[in-house]
Amino acid sequence: MNMKKISLDTVIATYNKLKNEAKTPTTEQMLTNIHETSQKITSSGGIVSPTAIITILSSKGIITVPRTLYYNKKEVNGKTTNAYRLLIDAWVEHSTTANAVNLSSKDLQNTIPESFVEDSDLVKIEDLTLRHKMALLLGEVKGLRNQVNTLKEVRSNPTLSLSKPLAELSYEESMELTLDEFDIEVLQEFLKVSKSSHVGFNGDGELMANKAIKRDEILSEKGLKETIVKIINLHTPPVT
């Protein structure tokens, strides 16, 4: 597949446009995180990818998942509307055309810039593949350290419990229990009550129908079930 060439100025213009259109400070900040991370990857000769961005953000304690960055919740005339995805796609196109000549096909899938790690020892490694692996390893260590601190805070809160001992949680398992921006948005949309809503809540917090509901009519955003399962798993006491 031929990759369309896109200039750095165009990428920056895309970022500024999306940032100005952001509806919440959270979205604006995540766009900035993605933009700055992609800049570091590209300036280090790497290829931007959602996986690389997530790994680097995780090492900084910013937890997100591919669904948040790349899921296109609402299409308009068949076009992508997810601001994060639009920005990432622009950086992917720019970094690929700018740096592809220096990378193998394996490197294209997951590229972490050595400069991001800020460890002077990495530049002494002449083998690019080994240097890449070391950068990944150091990023993973930073991410795990942040997870340990987070889990300590959860452990100190007696109102929270997990379905298995905290010390046994892997990185993947902790990610499955973490509500991301998409999950929170799904819940917020479900809790909204308006004149057009088919369901709402009474004074006792019970879910009730506000108007007649047709068979197979969709009443929530996509992902509501998965979000509820996450919350249940997070607060389910361990089986002894």
For 85-125, how does the pLDDT look when each residue is reduced to its tens digit (9 = 90+)? 899 989 988 888 776 555 444 443 444 443 445 556 666 67
Residue 52: band (very low, low, confident or very high) from pLDDT cuts 50, 70, 90: confident
The closest of 221, 229, 183, 148 to 64, measured between CA atoms, is 183
Per-residue pLDDT, averaged over 147-151, amounts to 57
Q: What is the pLDDT of residues 58-74, one digit of tens each?
A: 877 787 877 788 776 66
- Return the pLDDT at 103: 44
Distances (CA, A) of 89 to 32, 74, 94, 106: 15, 17, 9, 19
Mean local confidence (pLDDT), 205-234: 76
Q: Return the pLDDT at 204.
A: 74
Question: Higher confidence at residue 164 or residue 220?
Answer: 220
**Domain extents in the chain:** 8-157, 179-235
Task: Report the range of poorest mean pLDDT among 13-22, 41-50, 198-207.
Answer: 198-207
Across 29-38, 88-97, 180-189, which has the greatest mean pLDDT? 29-38
* pTM, 2 dp: 0.46
What is the C-alpha separation between 205 and 201, in angstroms, rounded? 5
Give the pLDDT mean for 16-36: 92
pLDDT of residue 87: 93
135-151 per-residue burial string, b: 16 or more CB within 10 A, e: under 16: bbebbeebbeebbeeee
Instruction: Tell me the percentage of the chain whose pLDDT exceeds 90.
Output: 10
- Average pLDDT for 186-211: 73
